[in-house]
Structure 1
Amino acid sequence: MTTIKEVAKLAGVAVSTASNAINGNYGVKKETKQKVIEAARKLNYVPNPIAQGLVNRNTGNISIIVSGPSSFNLFNNPVFFEVLRSITQTLNTAGYQAHLNIITTEDEETEIPRIARSRYTDAMILVGSRRNDIDLAQLLGDIDIPVLVVIRSSPSSGVYAVSSDHWNCGYKGTEYLIQLGHKEIAFLGALPGVSIADERLAGYREALEDHGLTYRDSLVIEGDFYQESGLTGIRHMLRQVLRKPTAIFAANDLMALGALEGMEQEGIRVPEDISIMGSDNIPNLHLLKVPLTTISTPFYEIGRLASEKIIGILEGKDDLPEKIVLPSELRVRESTKRMSS
């Protein structure tokens, strides 16, 4: 394989000059650049893209970081599949390579800076972190390549984001249950400091207040957006409260699935005893024994726009907003029921 040294020798210039000429850098005379290009053609010289990337910080690689708690299993969450599929398809079509990194929340402080400093990536897309907004903003603020978070809102200025309207999701889901006649509505998925949970909880609370219903802390259940927390959270709440809810809004479908399991263990029928709805519209909810009512989030579109945003930033032609927020839609199925008069 021909080297840049051989090209420089044939052109009668220094190696650095030959490299600058081939890479299109400033400071090389037109005549000299032409001599180098001619020499490269004669020798069939093909530039090494990795070496070029190390010099120019332009590798064509985008790091996708999927993060979750230590108990986290990527394969348990269909949302990640849809987002990752969309991101990789869009990047590959544009000539970029997607590099997947799966880490735990506990490792974010060391792994995210390490990946950013590796010089083998031009930008970073973060999926699924459960780190609170303040800590995440501090961590990502020290990264010197473009960083974009998906699904959750941006933790700070300078960090790009593509997400759905989480506040509206919480409001719309709660309002639908109110319209069915429910007055005692629980919220499953409180995760303080994490924007996706905080915003959905805020929407839930405002919907209650707008319809003259009382917000009760005893009906707000913690959850980490994984199925097990839905199971344990709902069982704990049902055994503690004196007035059981007639409906539950779960901040995502995985927790709703856990809650369905928990209510079955407690002998509670859905929707006869308690209505429940989720959020996200993950695949196959219509195949459940009781098909789940939910709020649909456009995850494929989120992944596509995230990739297009990063590509636009890297290529200097970005015309998308710094923070992109997409609407969601109600999907009514059989897990919710109108209250009897």
Structure 2
Amino acid sequence: MSITIKDVAKKAGVAPSTVSRVISDSSTISEETKKKVRKVMDELGYHLNLNARILVQKSSQTIGIVMKNSTSASLLNPVFPEFLNGISDYCSKQDFSICLTSGASEEEIFQDTVKIVRGKKVDGMIVMYSKKDDKVVPYLLESGIPFVVIGKPAYETNRIMYVDNDNVLAAKEATDYLLSLGHKRIGFISGDPRFEVSKSRFNGYRESLNENNIDMKGGYVKNFLIDQSEQGKQVVRELMSLPVPPTALLVTDDSHALFVLLVLREMKLKVPEDVSVLAFNNTVMSKLASPPLTSVNIQTYHLGNEAARGLIDLIKHPDMVKKSVIIPTTIEERESCLAYTEKNEPD
């Protein structure tokens, strides 16, 4: 015989309606009462009949996640599992499941997003990126489904809820850090420049140089796609083979920074003795790199957690004001940066 809400209410000494509100994590119920009711639920072995709940509420109790790249590429990027961990932790507490988009190209990911939304498989979507000329966000706006973007939207920010870092400030502080070590020739390497995060971090780099009256050399600014290794090798070699090469490199994510370390090693250049490297995202890769990377901690878990929190709030309260959440960043100092000396200054 299955345990019902009435059984839980009787043993806990509360009304069945109170048990229902505890299950939905209502703010009208005290934490003390919630703990008492949940303890009784555990003791009796009460489990939600999710299928019945979905039919009654006309809700899938599922959140869709639109990935930046194909499934295989996303899972190889160490920042994605950290985002996913933050999202899934909050969803689990709210009895929501997650559903990932699939597809090997931007168009396939978009078509899968359309299929998920039209099939009413999810109650809302989290878009893991922000990019100009993207088809996903305009479609979600048009469809009316609740969604949250991780990253500052490229447009219509007043209509879109988003969670982000202040990437301009973070890159400015990272560049200021390299300047404080005596570096004046600082190169900048990013991934796909179409993404807003790349643009914002470049703007912060440029802002720091301008404020310190340092000319930004065009040849010092490069980008390459992480899955195009030959292009990446060429970019790093061109940069470090300049007549006056940079003494420090600001790289916009740990994955690109690890690749840069590999090419520098092939060129017989030592980090940080010959060139300092400062990265972003502070993933586990930054700690395991050789040498360990100084990296900007963007608090990936909290970005994902806040995105899930905001979306579920929006699902439960569709008329709420769209808000943005900015997560602070810090620089985690490790061994890839060193104070500049003039020993390698060209004659």
Normalised-by-shorter TM-score class: 0.7 to 0.9
Give the corresponding residue for 2:180. Answer: 179
Q: Which amino acid aligns with 2:152?
A: S
Give the corresponding residue for 2:235. Answer: 233
**Where do 5+ consecutive residues of structure 2 fail to align?**
1-48, 343-347
**Where do 5+ consecutive residues of structure 1 fail to align?**
1-44
Question: For 1:275-299, what per-residue CA distance to the aligned partner results, in whole angstroms no more than 9, with x for missing partners?
Answer: 1110110114233321111111111
**Residue 75 of structure 2 is aligned to residue 87 of structure 1:** no
Give the corresponding residue for 2:308. Answer: 307
Give the corresponding residue for 2:66. Answer: 65
Three-state SS of the structure 1 residue aligned to 2:101 is: strand
Give the corresponding residue for 1:273. Answer: 274
Give the corresponding residue for 2:155. Answer: 156
Q: Distance in 1 between matches of 2:148 and 2:212?
A: 37
Three-state SS of the structure 1 residue aligned to 2:277 is: strand
Give the corresponding residue for 1:12. Answer: none
Q: Distance in 2 between matches of 1:295 and 1:230?
A: 22
**Shift in CA distance, 318/184, structure 1 to aligned 2, threshold 3 Å:** farther
Q: Distance in 2 between matches of 1:288 and 1:194?
A: 25
Q: Distance in 2 between matches of 1:110 and 1:286?
A: 37
Question: For 1:78-109, what per-residue CA distance to the aligned partner results, in whole angstroms no more than 9, with x for missing partners?
Answer: 11111101111211111111122233323233
Segment drifting more, 262-271 vs 133-142: 133-142
Contact 1:137 1:156 in 2 (8 A): no
Give the corresponding residue for 1:256. Answer: 257
Aligned-residue offset at 1:242: 2.5
Give the corresponding residue for 2:102. Answer: 102
Aligned-residue offset at 1:210: 0.5
Contact 2:61 2:97 in 1 (8 A): yes
Aligned-residue offset at 1:172: 0.9
Q: Which amino acid aligns with 2:272?
A: P
RMSD: 2.6
Contact 1:190 1:220 in 2 (8 A): no
Identity %: 24
Aligned-residue offset at 1:142: 2.6
TM-score norm. by structure 1 comes to 0.77
Give the corresponding residue for 1:192. Answer: 193
TM-score norm. by structure 2 comes to 0.76
Q: Which of structures 1 and 2 has the bigger CA Rg? A: 1
Give the corresponding residue for 1:290. Answer: 291
Question: For 1:44-93, what per-residue CA distance to the aligned partner results, in whole angstroms no more than 9, with x for missing partners?
Answer: x997445456xx3x2211111223169x6223211111110111121111
Contact 2:83 2:300 in 1 (8 A): yes
**Shift in CA distance, 184/277, structure 1 to aligned 2, threshold 3 Å:** same
Three-state SS of the structure 2 residue aligned to 1:295 is: strand
| Relative contact order higher in (CA < 8 Å, ≥ 6 apart) | 2
Segment drifting more, 297-306 vs 133-142: 133-142
Q: Distance in 2 between matches of 1:126 and 1:159?
A: 11
